[in-house]
Amino acid sequence: MRLATFEFQGERRIGAVVGDRIVDLAAAHKGWLESQGGDLVQTLPTDMVALLERGEEGLASAQAAVRYGSGRPVGQRLSYNLAEVALKAPIPRPGKILAAEFNYAEHIREANNYVRRLSYSVPDWPLQDWPWTFPKLPHAVVGPGDRIVRPRNTHCLDGEVELAAVIGRAGHRIHAEQAINYVVGYTGMIDVSARDIEFTPAPVVNHRLYSLGKNNDTFAPMGPVLVTRDEVSDPQGLDLRLERNGEVIQLDNTASMIIPLRELVVFYSQFFTLEPGDLILTGTPGGVGGFREPPIYWEPGDRIVASISQIGSLEHEIVEEI
């Protein structure tokens, strides 16, 4: 399924995209239950995390809703034309967003070159066994088509395309052979950064304002949909692409990850209980605009398109903070 959060006439719902329309899961499931003489207490929720918390039973009910709703005319309001609704981030407020930095060799090389140009005295980031990790905070999440705001306190706005794995069931200290079963599906994300904040020395020795440069409002565009795991042939074989004003900035494949998704799930579960609706960002490939010489930073009026094969594209305009 291609699950989505959407708004229709100001009301937020969850649905499944089928062709050029979206099935309202709660409404269609209610209709299906009525047709079967079922208990209406068991209707589906209108929130994505609440759906994921129902586990396999919830997904099975969603599939029944899709079959029922997609077979009825749009006018019955069990489904809508996509043009009628506004897609939002599939998970508007995730519990945790854990970002694995430096998970592609070419990105590590360009990052090391970048910090040398800044004359920082730091060792090279290695091709590592453990992922360099930072949080993306839930308030930074925006949905498909929403504007990305360049804050007043930065002139070095930049961003990266990333595959995000969505956790579908709770797990702690997960074993490798079971790790992928804790992933319900995948979505796309743009990791937006203010480089001049991210790499500004802070008062504490050997620390920098890294997370502050990653978490301004609108710095985590997500979507366009959550594609369930059964519809993605191989998460380590997806094409990644990011364009600025039609120019290709990043182009690679998730096969280039140093630490594959399965191992990231195992790693993070050693420290946190992973819960339904949590996201793991799997890193970004090389070609990042801000790490080039000369750098390519995003300016108001720029159009950014981030695409992942089998998932879809995010398209955003850069605007200045008012």
Looking at the structure, do residues 29 and 165 belong to the same domain, yes or no?
no
Q: What is the pLDDT of residue 11?
A: 95
- The pTM of the full predicted model, rounded to 2 decimals, is 0.93
Q: What is the pLDDT of residue 249?
A: 97
CA dist 48 and 39 (Å) reads 21
Q: Which domain holds residue 31?
A: 2-88
Looking at the structure, do residues 285 and 208 belong to the same domain, yes or no?
yes
272 DSSP assignment = S
Residue 251 has pLDDT above 80, yes or no: yes
Looking at the structure, do residues 236 and 294 belong to the same domain, yes or no?
yes
Q: What is the pLDDT of residue 157?
A: 97
Structural contact between residues 97 and 281, judged by C-beta atoms closer than 8 angstroms: yes
Phi-psi region of 32 (alpha: psi -120 to 50; beta: other; left: phi over 0): alpha
Q: How many Cβ atoms from other residues are within 10 Å of residue 123's Cβ?
A: 7
Boundary residue ending a domain (59, 88, 117):
88
Looking at the structure, do residues 55 and 102 belong to the same domain, yes or no?
no
Q: What is the pLDDT of residue 198?
A: 86
Looking at the structure, do residues 152 and 186 belong to the same domain, yes or no?
yes
At residue 57, the 3 state secondary structure works out as helix
At residue 41, the 3 state secondary structure works out as helix
Backbone angles phi and psi of 282, in degrees to 5: -100, 10
Give CA torsion, residues 108, 100, 183, 28, to 10 deg.
Answer: -100
Q: What is the pLDDT of residue 207?
A: 53
Looking at the structure, do residues 12 and 125 belong to the same domain, yes or no?
no
DSSP string for 75-143: GGSSEEEGGGSEEE-SSSS-S-EEEEES-BHHHHHHHHHHHHHTT---PPPPS-SS-EEEEPPGGGEE-
Residue 202 has pLDDT above 60, yes or no: no
Boundary residue ending a domain (88, 115, 135):
88
Structural contact between residues 6 and 86, judged by C-beta atoms closer than 8 angstroms: yes
The domain total for the chain is: 2
Looking at the structure, do residues 84 and 103 belong to the same domain, yes or no?
no
Looking at the structure, do residues 137 and 76 belong to the same domain, yes or no?
no
Looking at the structure, do residues 14 and 140 belong to the same domain, yes or no?
no
Token representation of residue 294:
């000369």
Looking at the structure, do residues 49 and 137 belong to the same domain, yes or no?
no
Looking at the structure, do residues 71 and 121 belong to the same domain, yes or no?
no
Looking at the structure, do residues 151 and 271 belong to the same domain, yes or no?
yes
